[in-house]
Structure 1
């Protein structure tokens, strides 16, 4: 591992979809202070995303969903006393 790799190993990777998500959320917070749904952020982020980045973003959405499903299962297993 190079010194650069060591220094940057703790820096989180920001994907194009995350960048567009953050931009969409900021816009909605500014333009719709009465509130909005998470789907509004996602749809706006997807629309802002360059076509070339969409395949990677689609995979990212699948993995993010899977991580949430697994975390939910782990939470329910822990609540049920370790019985899955």
Structure 2
């Protein structure tokens, strides 16, 4: 008894027809999971932070602390 020869012609196309849709499906699933578990909560956190953020108040606090070299504190 001898083993049958493997069919090599068209093997790549046959494997791609099986694996390519799976790869696309998993990549879309991973992208959706990343979007809803990482980016959406991050965008929400930024929105919450900037609702009550006062840039002028923050600038004045940093200027008073001497962070900037070109902006003097208002006391000078």
Normalising to structure 1: TM-score of the pair? 0.33
Larger Rg: 2
Using CA pairs under 8 Å that are at least 6 residues apart, name the structure with larger relative contact order, 1 or 2.
1
TM-score computed with the length of structure 2 as normaliser: 0.36
